[in-house]
Amino acid sequence: MATPHKPNLAISRYTDFRDEPVSRLLAPIGGYQDKPIVSLEESVELVSDLFDDIQGNVWVAKENCKNPADDLNQNESAAIHLYTMQFDPDPSLYHVLNEKLRSENRQSLKPWFSYLKLFLTALYKLPSRSQTVWRGVRNDTEKEIILMPGSYFEVMGQLHPANDLHIIHLKEIQPPVPLVKPPFKIESMPAPTKEPIVHYKEKKIDTGNTNTNFTQASGTINKPLE
């Protein structure tokens, strides 16, 4: 018996970039940094009605983060883990949050401020890494890269070697103004790596090809440059 077609969730996690605004810059993100740090359970209370069972997924995330690395506590580590999780049923947290981060209506981010405070505090604590990342990977891999909100890039070059292949070379640079307020004072943060190099590779694919996955984003695991 035929079964309804279901989208490849692994691919759908990494292809919502098509909704990214490209013709305009959005207003900087701020206000969340004034929120107090709360538990992960508390941080998602104001957005819980957007999901089927957000607290159940929070519990799973915290169970998987009982012994976090990089000097994170359990709530901080679980906040990152929750962002990477694929919820069933949809929508997943990353999808809804990304949509709000891309919205011109910055007021729609207010219910997310407590989660953003915890999530970005965790990300800012992680050590910066400079590396080359390819977005399209013909591989069955779940290794992911998370770009910080407000990452700012310069196009260094473009190639179109085949009809279905585009290669874009990007470099992370310092924006003229901070696009996201840091979650705590800059003085207490480690110095970021200057001008990491990023490669962006896009290849059109058949979504039925389970051998092709996408990384979470293309870029460096790096805090915004100072």
44 has pLDDT over 50:
yes
User: Distance between CA atoms of 226 and 223, rounded to whole angstroms?
Assistant: 9
100 SS3 class: helix
132, 148: one domain: yes
At 66, the pLDDT band (50, 70, 90 cuts) reads very high
Residue 138: the pLDDT is: 56
Chain segment 149-175, per-residue pLDDT in tens? 778 888 888 888 888 777 888 888 888
Residue 9: the pLDDT is: 52
Residue 194 Cα distances to 87, 106, 135, angstroms: 36, 29, 21
Answer with the one of 73, 101, 126 that is the final residue of a domain: 126
120, 136: one domain: no
108, 132: one domain: no
92, 155: one domain: no
User: Distance between CA atoms of 197 and 117, rounded to whole angstroms?
Assistant: 28
Weakest mean pLDDT among 19-28, 174-183, 184-193? 184-193
H or E element that contains 181: none
**How far separated are the first and last CA of the chain, in Å rounded?**
58
Are 215 and 143 in contact by the 8 Å Cβ rule? The answer is yes
Residue 219: the pLDDT is: 36
Strands 165-172 and 213-214: unpaired
119, 136: one domain: no
133, 121: one domain: no
Share of residues in the chain with pLDDT > 90 (%): 36
89, 169: one domain: no
Nearest partner of 127 among 194, 76, 71, 165, judged by Cα: 71
How many other CB atoms are there within 10 angstroms of residue 184's CB atom? 15
Answer with the one of 105, 126, 147 that is the final residue of a domain: 126
Are 97 and 118 in contact by the 8 Å Cβ rule? The answer is no
Share of residues in the chain with pLDDT > 70 (%): 65
113, 3: one domain: yes
- φ and ψ of 90, to 5 deg: -65, 165
DSSP category for residue 31: S
pTM for the whole thing?
0.67
Crossing angle for the helix pair 74-84 and 93-101, nearest 10 degrees?
Answer: 90
Q: Residue 48: which domain range? A: 1-21+30-126
Count of domains for the chain: 2
214 has pLDDT over 90:
no
Highest mean pLDDT among 104-113, 146-155, 216-225: 104-113
Residue 196: the pLDDT is: 41
